[in-house]
Structure 1
Amino acid sequence: MYSIFNAISTYEFRRIGTCTSTMEAWDILQVTHEGTNAVKVSKLQMLTSRFETIRMDDHETFGEFHAKLMDIVNSSFNLGEPISNSKVVRKILRSRPERFRAKVTAIEESKDVDSLKIDELVGSLQTFEMTLVSPRKAKGIALKTIKEESLSSESEDDEKMSKG
């Protein structure tokens, strides 16, 4: 009991302070944090549904999508239902927006998806995303500069015509 008492907050201690056995204290803490078995099953069903339906939005970065997906994976693991590495890898590959299509195809053709590590895939997709973002920003700046130059030359032409 002493080990449990040292590992919990004062708030949680109030729940189990009068328990006479370690098992009794553990059961109370387990129900408090995981819920009853019915609640646990319900949470797992909700997580499974979220896992199946999650997709990366066009405006979303890969890091944001990856964080949301891993929250689901970790929550499922914490409730005693781990999601396999290969299932997570396949989900990531399936859930990409159109701008990732070429990279996903290249990964599927060149790598064994069943043995591909999540971190390896994440690194590859983040690197690819960086190459997608850089040209867009550069193009936007170039267009802005051209537009500003065009506007300033038009105003100079207007001034010359009004004077001349």
Structure 2
Amino acid sequence: MELNAKAINMMHCAISVDEYWKVSRCKTVKEIWEKLQVTHECTKQVKETMIDMLQKEYEIFFMKDGEIIDEMFEKFSIIINSLDVMKMTHIEQTLVKKVLRSLTKEWEIKATMVAKRNNLSPLSYDELRRKRLA
């Protein structure tokens, strides 16, 4: 198998089935790369719209009644990681405060204890997530 065929095979193995169907007819790695770039490249307007939607999700985020704390952290992480990709980052302390304010009533006492115990500033979002408000 020649080098180009091996490289194409590696590219096909590295992408999802949906992506594969977009590039399966490409003859070179360069063609695959260019096709994927065009497919995933977004215009400035699309990017701004995506940022607006993610910021809205961030603003209205809250834990739902009956939701498990790990599920809540997972949903919030998806939002903030998506914002990070769009170069819209938040300070750790802001993320911690947002999570603590977004909890349901059943978590209110634990959230208050965490806030008092850690004084919030030295506590990162990842540390809060690891502790699961224990």
TM-score computed with the length of structure 2 as normaliser: 0.71
Q: Residue deviations 1:6-38, cap 9 Å, x none?
A: 5464445469868x89xx93xx64452252111
Residues 59-117 of structure 1: CA distance to partner in whole angstroms, max 9, x if unpaired? Answer: 11111111111111111122232333222211111101111111111121221323312
In structure 2, what is the equivalent of residue 110 of structure 1?
A: 117
Q: Residue 55 of structure 1 is aligned with which of 62, 66, 79?
A: 62
Gaps of 5+ in 2: none
Corresponding residue to 2:91 among 39, 64, 84: 84
1:68 aligns with 2:75: yes
Highest RCO, 1 vs 2 (Cα 8 Å, sep ≥ 6) = 2
- Give, as a single letter, the amino acid of the residue that structure 1 aligns with 2:101: R
Unaligned residue ranges in structure 1 (runs of 5+): 128-164
What residue identity is the alignment partner of 2:56? Answer: S
Q: Aligned in 2, Cα 1:99/1:57: closer, same or farther, shift over 3 Å?
A: same
Q: Which has the higher helix share?
A: 1
RMSD over aligned CA atoms reads 3.0
Aligned residues: 122
SS across alignment from 2:132: helix
Q: How does 1:1-164 map to 2 (within 5 A)?
A: 7=11, 9=15, 10-13=20-23, 25=34, 29-127=36-134
Amino acid at match of 1:45: D
Judging changes above 3 Å, is the alpha-carbon distance between structure 1 residues 47 and 15 closer, same or farther for their aligned structure 2 residues? farther
**In terms of Rg, which structure is larger?**
1
State how far apart, in whole Å, the 1-side matches of 2:114 and 2:41 are. Answer: 38
Amino acid of the structure 2 residue aligned with 1:37: K
Q: TM-score, normalised by structure 1?
A: 0.59
Q: Which moved more, 1:86-95 or 1:47-56?
A: 86-95
**Shift in CA distance, 104/35, structure 1 to aligned 2, threshold 3 Å:** same
> Structure 1 residues 16, 49: CA separation in 2 closer, same or farther (over 3 Å shift)?
farther
Distance 1:73 1:46 in 2: 12
